[in-house]
Amino acid sequence: MPVGEDQFLEEIGKAEDRTVRLVYADWLDEQGDPRGELVRIEEEMRGIPIYSDRYWELKPHRNQLRADCPNEWLAQMEYGTVYEPTFRDIPDGWKERWRLIREFTERWYGIPMPDVGYDEEKIFPDFRWSSISDKPAPPSMLEWIAYANDIPSQERNLLGGFWNCFPRRAIVNDKELPGFTILERVGIDIEFMVHENWLEDPDPPVHEFWGYPADQEEQLEYFLEEETIDQFS
């Protein structure tokens, strides 16, 4: 007796072993159904790290295939509704960490997020990087700006903590401190500071200045103690 799609979906709903989904993908291929390709991509992506290059190579095509599938079928397959944990492990690289943040933002808030990277001419014309040396801004810092730019302005209130996405971060009361470089956005009274000693670190401690006064000696002591907030601890 030939196996039909309803039987496959029934077995998939009961089976803990996900290999039955790949058998279903073969069956869909035999029927000339493009959903077979989506099933394979979905199952591959479940087994690889979210921060890997391969995951972000597959993601745009997966999203396109999902858009062509009925929502009811996607719900039955739990594609786009049930995920592996985002923060199952935390990588060391700044690029990989930002991929986790981007994926979490998309899953939790429903805001589509592209891979890390940015168009410098489009994103950075309003920013000034005031450095004592000729060293460029750290890549993680620039990626944070790119991340913020990818979030529609009307959605930013949902992400009340999206300013706080640096892995290591501290709030500063007085920016008149020696040895710090400043990244500021024209017209906004929020500035971000990195000490010159850390500029070669791709993911350095970042200090945020909000513009209210404080005792300079207390701030120097604060920096020397390296009281930073680790968002991933």
90 with 77, same domain? no
115 with 168, same domain? yes
90 with 75, same domain? no
Three-class SS of the chain? CCCCHHHHHHHHHHCCCCHHHHHHHHHHHHCCCCHHHHHHHHHHHHCCCCCCHHHHHHHHHHHHHHHCCCHHHHHHHCCCCCCCCCCCCCCCCHHHHHHHHHHHHHHHHCCCCCCCCCCHHHHCCCEEEECCCCCCCCHHHHHHHHHHHCCCHHHCCCCCCHHHCCCEEEEECCCCCCCEEEEEECCCCCEEEEEHHHCCCCCCCEEEECCCCCCHHHHHHHHHCCCCEECCC
Supply the pTM of this predicted model: 0.75
pLDDT in tens, the chain (233 residues): 346 787 888 888 777 788 889 999 999 999 999 999 999 999 999 999 999 999 999 999 999 999 999 999 999 999 998 888 888 888 989 999 999 999 998 998 888 999 998 877 777 776 777 766 677 788 888 888 888 888 876 666 655 555 555 545 555 555 556 677 777 665 555 577 788 888 888 888 877 765 544 455 554 554 445 444 333 33
| Domains held by the chain: number | 2
25 with 131, same domain? no
43 with 131, same domain? no
Residue 42: give the domain boundaries. 1-84
